[in-house]
Amino acid sequence: MNPQIIAERDSSLILFESGKVRSVPNNLYNQVKYRENKGERILYTFNDDMKVHETYDNGIFNAFIKDETLQIRNSHVICESIIDHKKTGDTEKFSKLFKKLYFQSKKTELMKEMIDVFGDRVKTHTSGKENPNTYYVVDERFMVDDKGVSHYMDKKRHWNFLCTVAQGNLSKMTISTKIGTIELEAKELEIMGKIGFLLSPDITDSVFFHQLPEDLQDVLKAEVEFDSVNLGGT
């Protein structure tokens, strides 16, 4: 016998099932689960490319966009997405949640695709096995880690903290994926902005420049002079 809602309170739903009474929290997931689905697994199709199937564990969903699959444990947002779609036909909430989690699960791979645009000047490295850290090395002398923190390499080939500010318009940057276009989040935008700055560092930025050791300052000055002469600058 499927559970039936026999009473509803502010904090709980009272269910009758197989001759027994029990209660569950009165939240959006349980409202969809027990009011609309009569206690059955939540199986919902948004369109031909988007659907969710609740697993046999309550509140855990296998979610699909095209041929990509994720397991999502945020039952509240899943149910919000279902209700929105039923009311308006809008899939934006589900798509946004899926893309956010998809990017997080494939962040190293997707960021590497973007970094590859810079060619050999920027290399992606990963260290550690259990909790791997990714970092991006620029011209073998600067580095930006996956937290958006910059470093420079000293003579002993040790990385040292470098205070930099991401440059340019970082309000939006997108990447094309198997499930469509995804906007980068703030941290990834910051990483890309700092890499862009370190590829063409501004030696007139005194805050940045005076953090560097003299030998690296000299190298950057020489490169700017060389570019000025060969590009016809002043």
Specify whether 75 is located in the same domain as 117: no
Q: Is the pTM of this model over 0.85?
A: no
Question: What domain range includes position 18?
Answer: 1-39
Specify whether 117 is located in the same domain as 222: yes
pLDDT at 223: 93
pLDDT at 169: 59
Task: Name the band, by pLDDT with cuts 50, 70 and 90, for residue 229.
Answer: confident
Number of domains composing the chain: 3
pLDDT at 131: 76
Specify whether 64 is located in the same domain as 159: no
Task: Give the residue-averaged pLDDT of 123-143.
Answer: 90
Of the residues 63, 78, 105, the one at which a domain ends? 105
Residues 153, 142 contacting (CB under 8 angstroms)? yes
Specify whether 112 is located in the same domain as 214: yes
User: Is the pLDDT reported for residue 114 higher than 50?
Assistant: yes
Cα–Cα dist 186/115, whole Å: 16
Specify whether 60 is located in the same domain as 171: no
pLDDT at 230: 79
Of the residues 85, 105, 125, the one at which a domain ends? 105
User: Is the pLDDT reported for residue 84 higher than 90?
Assistant: yes
Specify whether 117 is located in the same domain as 157: yes
Cα–Cα dist 75/68, whole Å: 19
Specify whether 176 is located in the same domain as 124: yes
User: Is the pLDDT reported for residue 234 higher than 60?
Assistant: no
Residues in Cβ contact with 79 at an 8 Å cutoff, skipping those fewer than 6 apart: 28, 29, 31, 32, 42
Closest by CA to 125, choosing from 113, 114, 112, is 112
Residues 41, 53 contacting (CB under 8 angstroms)? yes
Specify whether 34 is located in the same domain as 45: no
Cα–Cα dist 136/84, whole Å: 40
Cα–Cα dist 110/49, whole Å: 21
Task: Name the band, by pLDDT with cuts 50, 70 and 90, for residue 15.
Answer: very high
Specify whether 133 is located in the same domain as 211: yes
Specify whether 222 is located in the same domain as 112: yes
Specify whether 16 is located in the same domain as 48: no
Burial class (CB in 10 A: 0-12, 13-18, 19+), 53: middle
Please state, as a whole number, how many other Cβ atoms lie within 10 Å of the Cβ of residue 209.
15
User: Is the pLDDT reported for residue 231 higher than 80?
Assistant: no
User: What are the tens digits of pLDDT across the range 143-181?
Assistant: 999 999 999 999 999 999 999 987 665 668 899 999 999
pLDDT at 149: 96
Specify whether 121 is located in the same domain as 155: yes
